[in-house]
Amino acid sequence: MNHFSAGAAKTDITPPLGTIINGEFVAFYAHTIHDPLYSKALVLQNAGTTLAIVIVDICAMDKEFIVEVKKEITVLTGIPAEHILIAATHTHYAGSILDLLGGPCDLPYRKSLGKKIVQSVVDAVQRLQPANIGFVSIDVPEHVVCRRYYMKPGYKAVNPVTGGLDIIKTNPAGGEAYIDKRASTVDPELSAVAIQSIDGEWISLLANYSMHYVGDCANGTITADYFAVFARHITANLKAGENFIAMLSNGTSGEANIWDFLQPDRYPKEEHQKKELIGKDLAAKLSEALQNIQWETDPLLSASFKYITLSVRKPSSAEVEAAKKIVAQTDYRLINSDAEAMVKIYAREQIFLNEYPDSIEFPVQALKMGDITIGALGGEFFAETGLSLKKQINKYFTITMANGYIGYVPPAHEIKKGGYETWRCRSSHVKEDGEGIVRKALSEMAG
């Protein structure tokens, strides 16, 4: 007898025009809504164990916000907080609910968002029905590249925090002639957990791809980016019903995007066309792979969750004093994002980071569905982290920006090389040993 059940639902979380958008070095305000944003929930249940996975069209959500959302979900559904995974897609064209660099939190949107996320889970619980589960994965390397480059002699990759020169340059716009080679290997795998009713009707699909986002439109636009395009096309390809919920989660994409500085002309340049091409192609390739999926009828479900302690990279007293002098002479209302502005933006970050504790509690989670495992990490991790875990665990992928957000957590050797992802600030502040500690903890939990 099949005891496994699944339900899925979504709620519209599109912010009103005028809402603050973060994800860039300065704040932008929503002036155009290109496509709606959603909180999408998948609930799985078997033998008294219930899991909930929620993918939200937003740049990032902090741990404190998510903890409160989980508490409300638990009150209304009985699902334990440790069994709930809530993650951001990391679109950079959504409402802001936390401070990131020069982009402040939009407090009214933060207040309204939590209730909508909770509602998506409540609705998914109400749709629980007997189901089957399966796993597929394929490599789609053509749409993901490393954005970190080694540069030729003569190029100066200035670090705005230290004032010195980095070994690596991230997104070297204007310096293409100096590019030597890419700095690391990315993860090309497109994976998915698929859910059907026992009658063969599609309930949900949770995919995972390690590409940052596309970002092919004007700042101030609201869009779920290629995550939404993928969902729209996979739904059409599968001829799924109106209650089908397609989700694309963000993998270990800390250094991976599709702003290709070695082959800049391989995608259309019109607004929204690059994301349309990529999302459609990912959906087509995955749809084909799903034709050979093997279904499991009665998977055991389990969840592991814990906080681990990570040390914080903080500025010295001399660096703080130097930063204060810069901030005292800067009108941040007039700031932009050129090289001179970077020094001012990161000076402000040093003052804020100086107020941080010496260590933080970082969420690590592993969900198991039969022989399928999903890891969840609350930050932006490089492909090296995800690829290492995939070598150790069969039928596995990592969802990042999950259960919290502390920014970039690069491997120690990448921090030494420098580059944007390593510049010390509130969105990159874990000490060099942090990634190794996290990787080991998740490996033990998921193995």
Residues comprising the chain, all counted: 447
As a whole-number percent, the residues of the chain with pLDDT over 90 amount to 91
417: its two tokens: 């090389």
Distance CA 399, CA 421 (A): 18
Distance CA 180, CA 150 (A): 5
Q: Model confidence over 235-288: pLDDT tens digits?
A: 999 999 999 999 999 999 999 999 888 888 889 999 999 999 999 999 999 999
Over residues 410-439, the mean pLDDT reads 96
351: its two tokens: 């003052």
- Between strands 129-139 and 189-197, the pairing is antiparallel
pLDDT score of 2 = 57
Residue with the bigger pLDDT between 330 and 68: it is 68
pLDDT score of 333 = 83
294: its two tokens: 């093997």
pLDDT at 1 over 80: no
On whether the CB atoms of residues 196 and 203 are closer than 8 A, the answer is: yes
Q: Model confidence over 132-188: pLDDT tens digits?
A: 999 999 999 999 999 999 999 999 999 999 999 999 999 999 999 999 999 999 999
On whether the CB atoms of residues 378 and 430 are closer than 8 A, the answer is: no
Residue 340 confidence class, pLDDT cut points 50, 70, 90? confident
281: its two tokens: 């192609």
pLDDT score of 139 = 98
Angle at 370 between CA 228 and CA 38, to 5 degrees: 20
| Residue 290: closest CA among 233, 227, 228 | 233
10: its two tokens: 């979504």
pLDDT score of 447 = 78
Domain ranges within the chain, ordered by starting residue: 5-144+184-307+358-446, 315-354
Neighbours of 202 (CB within 10 A): 21
Residue 102 confidence class, pLDDT cut points 50, 70, 90? confident
The string of DSSP letters for 324-374 reads HHHHHT--GGG--SSHHHHHHHHHHHHHHHHTS-SEEEEEEEEEEETTEEE
Element (H, E) at 107: helix 107-126
Angle at 409 between CA 405 and CA 410, to 5 degrees: 155
Q: Model confidence over 15-40: pLDDT tens digits?
A: 999 999 988 888 899 999 999 999 99
Element (H, E) at 151: strand 148-151
356: its two tokens: 């941080």
Amino acid type, 443: S
pLDDT at 304 over 70: yes
pLDDT score of 124 = 98
Residue with the bigger pLDDT between 238 and 338: it is 238
Over residues 190-218, the mean pLDDT reads 96
